[in-house]
Amino acid sequence: MSKYLLEIGTEELPAKFSYSVLKQFKSLIEFELDKKLIKFEHIVVTSTPRRIVLLLEGLVDYAEDKIIERKGPKANSAYLNGCPTNAALGFANSLDIDVGELEIKNTEKGDFVFGKKIEKGLSTKISLSSIIPKLVKSLQGPRFMKWGAGNIKFSRPIRWIASIYNDEILDFEFDECDPKIKIGNKSKSHRLINKVLEVQNPDDFFELLKENRVIGIRKERKEKIESLINQASKSLNLKPDLSEGLLNELTDLVEWPDLIIGKFSDEFLDLPVEVLSTVMKSHQRYVPLLLKNKSFSKLDLSSEKNISTTFCVISNGLEESNNNIAKGNEKVLRARFSDAKFFVESDKKVASIERNQKLKSVSYLKGLGNIFQRVERIEEVTKKILKFLNDKSLEEKKIIEAAKYCKNDLCSEIVFEFPELQGIMGGKYLKYEGFSEDVCLAVAEHYLPSFYKDALPSSKYGAIVSIADKVETLISIFISGKRPTGSSDPYALRRNLNGVIKIIWDYELNLPLDKLFNELIDFWKIAFPNLNFSRETVFNDLNQFLVQRIVSHLEEISLSKELIKAVCSPDELSQKKVLNIVDLKNRIKSIMNFKEKENFVEIQKVITRVSKLANNSNLSTDVFSTKDYVDTKLFEKDCELKVFEFIGELEKLFSEGYCNYLELLNLFEININTIEDLFDNEKGVLIMSEDLKIRNNRLNLLSLIRNYSLKIADFTLLNS
């Protein structure tokens, strides 16, 4: 078994590309080797800021032989009286096989002669020499560049390529770079050591890099960074504010991680912790250290209770330079914090109501006015939501006030400099001005959730303003004709609607979105008489989009495909029920609880049998009363009367307009034998009676049972 090493040496790669290229590179090489029938035991694809590395182990020296079956002439042309003709001999000769190896096979067009040709597997070295250059040129990423006079495009200029098969250089053509690259066995050390390394064998490669301050295995580098930060934090009795995203970025910024501890002045603890953290993490790639066991408020304008003045820097420098690196980073951080402090102090001098007025000068979408007008629409949406919810526990005045000021910080200096702090700073400034905590927190959290698995607003006030903000965006974009198509979603409408669904789902808000859309489209029609759009088309598109996102939400919370299909079946009645998110959640919970019962399979089978027979009836799925549809005078046996009485119990259950779905399922469980008796050879009846009136009467009985079962799910689609 052989080994192959490929190292593509470059100028410093962008951290995101250095990470994202690994999966892409791995899938491409696996696809190409599989296509060439080249087997291997293990593959390693890794990267550092200056190199992308491929290591193949347990590699066969030759690809597997390929058996190719070819179709030849018709059998009656190939053989005459059992002897091969010139046609058979010529066909065998073309395949380089003996005529006796030909076979006759029957096809749709008659009997034909077939022959098998064995194509010998190519040398792995020859295959790799053609695969590798094609693969490198096919890698993709953002903002690829050309350099020099060459034609090749890559994330950053390629400076060297090492290609080693066992202990030999595996050469290949790669002539499009400028300056021209010679394929060899030379690698390079850490940039600050600046040594050329000779790689004798793939086995020695990663150890050779380590000896020259390069940890080539990305996973190992990541674990070392995490360990360094955790050890330092523990020794200081602090907690690192280290997200997975920041850890990944640090991993792809250094080849030999070294930890440096820095400090900033206490004077900057007057700034909000989010400002300090954003500057350190997003702008400088430092790791803030938080105080342990301290209460945290999103509305605090100072951070002395939350964060330490000590922070961590992951350096790619030499150890002897650590003191200078620490001083340099502290100096940079002081300048950034000083700017932030100036912005916050300037913002404090301006009232939120003044900033709100400035929103009139900030454009929104073409034809939809400015941000101030958008805020007015958010207020209107909020009022509509409150009307539908009719929740007496909420103070409407506070929620409308939160909606009014939710965008006030868009005209603040701190948000202009740090856009990721919008909403958060708005809530803090309102708190500083003396607004109620409910209003301030609602403003601070109204952008939540901003991505899948993000936290939700912590109060109903924030939840309602968040829904209003997202719904306003949704309707404005749909009305302007810029709805998502395919994978394109420039206004993040899918993410917005996902957030609305998640809030309603978790808070169990009885908010009929289809009815809300209906009223709001009328409001937009009045507000924008010059906008040319079809009210009916927009409404239908919004509802269709909503159903798609609800189904997507169910998939994201890991419900089975069968259950999703059963509760979201494509008929019109089911689609309308899907739009009621709280009702949908209750139906799903009831089914999942009921599935735990031992006799669920039996119940599901009986309802499925009933539903399939009911398809022979003309009774609509929206009929739930026996009146005018079932004639008791046509009953021939007691089992029919008992089923009729069972349907009466179902009618009574739904007569008050509210249904406990577990009660519905319990009724089915109690009466399952009653339904089964209909099909019993002795007690039962023949559903498809020759008497048309009796047949329709019995089918209507079954249809009513089916219709009530459809109130919770389509049992024919449930996988028992």
* Tens-digit pLDDT profile for residues 80-117: 888 899 998 899 888 888 888 888 899 888 899 999 88
**One domain, residues 387 and 411:** yes
Instruction: Give the pLDDT of residue 573.
Output: 63
- The share of the chain scoring above pLDDT 70, in percent, equals 99
Residue 404 belongs to some domain of the structure: yes
Q: What's the mean pLDDT when you consider all of the chain?
A: 93
pLDDT of residue 486: 79
The mean per-residue pLDDT over the stretch 639-651 comes to 94
Radius of gyration of the chain (CA): 35
Query: Which of these three, 84, 102, 118, is where a domain ends?
Result: 118
Res 296 pLDDT > 90: no
Q: Which token pair is 647? A: 């349907």
Phi, psi of 478 (to 5 degrees): -65, -40
Domain that holds residue 240: 218-347
Has residue 68 got a pLDDT over 90? no
Q: What is the CATH number of the domain that holds 18?
A: 3.30.70
- Total residue count of the chain as it appears in this document: 720
Q: Determine contact, residues 290/85, Cβ cutoff 8 Å.
A: no
Over residues 204-260, the pLDDT tens digits come to: 999 999 999 999 999 999 999 999 999 999 999 999 999 999 999 999 999 999 999
Q: Does any domain span residue 584? A: no
The reply to whether 574 falls in a domain is: no
Measured CA to CA, the distance from residue 514 to residue 540 in angstroms comes to 9
Confidence of residue 280 (pLDDT cuts 50, 70, 90): very high
Q: Which of 212, 227, 323, 335 is CA-nearest to residue 279? A: 335
pLDDT tens digits along 113-139: 999 888 888 899 999 999 999 999 999
- Looking at the structure, do residues 511 and 613 belong to the same domain, yes or no? no
Query: What domain count does the chain have?
Result: 5
Look at residue 81 and tell me if it is in a domain: yes
Same domain, 483 and 364: yes
Is the same domain home to 458 and 476? yes
Q: In what order do the strands lie in the sheet with 42-48?
A: 42-48, 51-59, 2-10, 158-165, 168-169
When pLDDT is cut at 50, 70 and 90, the band that residue 294 belongs to is low
**Same domain as 255, residue 146:** no
Question: Would you say residue 575 lies in a domain?
Answer: no
- CA-to-CA separations, 30 to 33, 56, 369, in angstroms, rounded: 5, 10, 52
User: What does the pLDDT read at residue 385?
Assistant: 97
pLDDT at 64: 86
Q: Which amino acid is at 583?
A: D
Phi, psi torsion values for 546, nearest 5 degrees? -65, -45
Q: Domain for residue 566, yes or no? A: no
Classify residue 580: in a domain, yes or no.
Answer: no
Q: How confident is the model at residue 572 (pLDDT cuts 50, 70, 90)?
A: low
CA distances from 324 to 260, 494, 558 (A): 10, 48, 51
pLDDT the model gives residue 224:
97
Res 657: pLDDT:
65
Contact 409, 429 (CB under 8 A): yes
Domain CATH for 525: 1.10.3210
Quick one: pLDDT at residue 659?
74
* End residue of a domain, out of 319, 347, 375: 347
Residues 186, 116: Cα–Cα separation, whole Å:
45
Whether 452 and 469 map to the same domain: the answer is yes
Separation of alpha carbons 207 and 258, rounded Å: 18
Angstrom distance (rounded) from CA 202 to CA 46: 14
Residue with tokens 């779905």: 661
Handedness of CA 612, 616, 619, 621 (dihedral sign): positive
Residues 601, 638 within the same domain: yes
Give pLDDT, residue 65.
86
Asked if residue 150 and residue 53 are part of one domain, the reply reads yes
Indicate if the pLDDT at residue 593 is higher than 80. Answer: yes
Q: What pLDDT is stored for residue 128 in this prediction? A: 95
Mean pLDDT of 67-89: 88
Task: Using pLDDT thresholds of 50, 70 and 90, give the confidence band for residue 574.
Answer: low
**Could you tell me if 683 and 599 lie in one domain?**
yes
Alpha helices in 480-580 (DSSP H): 493-507, 513-527, 535-556, 561-567, 572-578
Whether 720 has a pLDDT exceeding 60, the answer reads: no
| 547 and 444 assigned to the same domain | yes
pLDDT of residue 575: 72
For residue 511 the two structure tokens come to: 């908010």
- As a whole number of angstroms, the distance between CA 467 and CA 497 comes to 9
DSSP class of residue 283?
Answer: I
Whether residues 429 and 508 fall in one domain: yes
Residue of 267, 254, 177, 182 whose CA lies nearest to 216:
254
Q: Which of 506, 534, 558 is the last residue of a domain?
A: 558
Instruction: Examine the domain organization and report whether 258 and 300 are in the same domain.
Output: yes
Provide the whole-model pTM: 0.83
Whether 532 has a pLDDT exceeding 90, the answer reads: no
As a whole number of angstroms, the distance between CA 442 and CA 575 comes to 32
The pLDDT tens digits of the residues spanning 434-445 come to 999 999 999 999
Amino acid 366: pLDDT: 85
Q: Is residue 663 part of a domain?
A: yes
- What's residue 153's pLDDT? 93
N-term to C-term CA, the chain: 49
DSSP one-letter string for 395-441? -HHHHHHHHHHTTGGGGSHHHHH-GGGTTHHHHHHHHHTT--HHHHH
